[in-house]
Structure 1
Amino acid sequence: MAAMVVGTEETRLIVLRGNSASGKSSIAEGLRDRFGRGLALVGQDNLRRIVLRERDRPGAANIGLIELTARYALEAGFHVVVEGLLYADHYGEMLARLRADHRGPTHGYYLHVPFEQTLARHATKPIADEVSEPQLRDWYRELDLLPGGVETVIGPDSTLTDTVDRVMRETGLAELPPRDR
C-alpha cells in the first residue's frame, strides 16, 4: 500500500498485541465502553476468522483488510484500536506503515502473559473446546515485540480495569470527548 497520511492530529491509533487469552479483546471493549462513540475496534479475529475465514499466514488478505479498515476509520475521524495476536513477522510491516502514516499519536501495547497463565485463561473462553493445548503452544510466542521499542509491555499482574485506565490516560483518550453522533 502506498504511503497515505491518515487521520488528524487529534485521532488516536492504539495497537493492542499479545498471545491468545492475554486480554486484548477485553481491553479493547473496555476502552470503547469507557470512551463511548467515536472509537472504532478493528479486531484481527473478526476480520481474519469471521469476515474472510482464512488462516493466519504471512501475506494473507486479512493483513491488508486490517490496514484498510483502520485507515478508513482514522480518515473518518474515529480513534482506532487495532487488536489481535498480530505476529510481528506477519503484521509488523503493515503496523509500521500505519504508525508512519497516522497524523495523530500512535500507542502500542504488548500484553505479556506467561504460557501457563495463557492456558488457565483460555480454559474460561467459549472456544476452549475447539482449541487444544498443543495448538495454543504452537501459537504462543514469547515477547513477540515489534522492532524499535514502539510498544509498552503490560504484564499479567495488571488487572483489566488498571490496564484500561492506563491506556485511557497514556493515550489521552481520557481527556477527549466522545462523538455525539
Structure 2
Amino acid sequence: MRGVVGTEETRLVVVRGNSASGKSSVAAGVRAGFGRNLAIVGQDNVRRTVLRERDKPGGANIGLIDLTARYALDNGFHAVVEGILYADHYADMLRDLVRAHRGVTRCYYLDVHYEETVRRHATKHDAAYRASVTEEHLRSWFRERDLLPGDLETVIGAASTLDDTVRRILQDTGLDQVEPVER
C-alpha cells in the first residue's frame, strides 16, 4: 500500500457496477449536486480515451486511475472514481486507495440486473456508442454482483432512482454539508 492520501476534509467515492448500470450518471449527478472541486475519475475515460487499452488484469489504466484519484485528493479535490472496475482486476488498487484516504470514503455497487442494463443502454444519448455496443457485448461484460471483498461496498439496487442515489451519496459522504471551493 502506498502512503496516506488526501486530507480529513476530502471525500472519496467509488461507484462500481455493470455497463449501463448508471455509474457515470451518478458521478455526474454527485458533481452537479455538489459543485466545483470534485474530480470524476472515470475508468472509461482513462482506459479507453487516454490509454486506448483493453480491460485486462494488470493493465496500465489501473495505476493511472489510482494516481489520478490520489493526485486530485492530495490537491484538495473530492474524488469520484467510477467504472465497471471488475473486482478481480481492480480490488487491490481500490482497497489500497480506500485504506490510504484520510477523509470520508464510501464505496457503492449499483446492482442492476442484465435486462435493465440493456434497457438503460438503449437510452444513452451517444448514438454512435449505442450502435457500437450490442446486447452481446453487454452480456459478455456482465458480472452478477461483482462485489469487492471485505464488505467495502454499499449495494444500491435498480429500484433506487438516479436522484435518490445521488442524494444518498451526498448525504452518506457529508458532501451535502460541505461548501464547494471555487477554483
Q: Which amino acid aligns with 1:53?
A: R
Q: Which amino acid aligns with 1:173?
A: L
Gaps of 5+ in 2: none
Q: 1:134 aligns with which of 113, 116, 136?
A: 136
Deviation at 1:180, TM superposition (A): 2.2
Match of 1:78 in 2: 77
Q: Which amino acid aligns with 1:131?
A: V
Deviation at 1:82, TM superposition (A): 0.1
Query: What SS is found at the alignment partner of 2:13?
Result: strand
* 1:1-181 aligned within 5 A: 3-125=2-124, 126=126, 127-181=129-183
Residues 86-143 of structure 1 show CA distances to partners (whole Å, capped at 9, x for unaligned) of: 0000000000110111111110000010001111111122222101111111100000
Query: What SS is found at the alignment partner of 1:179?
Result: coil
Query: What SS is found at the alignment partner of 1:56?
Result: coil
Distance 1:105 1:168 in 2: 11
Which contiguous aligned blocks of 4+ residues in structure 1 show a shift greater than 6 angstroms? none
CA RMSD between the two structures: 0.8
Deviation at 1:13, TM superposition (A): 0.5
Identity %: 64
What is the TM-score normalised by the length of structure 2?
0.96
Q: Which amino acid aligns with 2:13?
A: I
Paired residues in the alignment total 180
Query: What SS is found at the alignment partner of 1:80?
Result: strand
Gaps of 5+ in 1: none
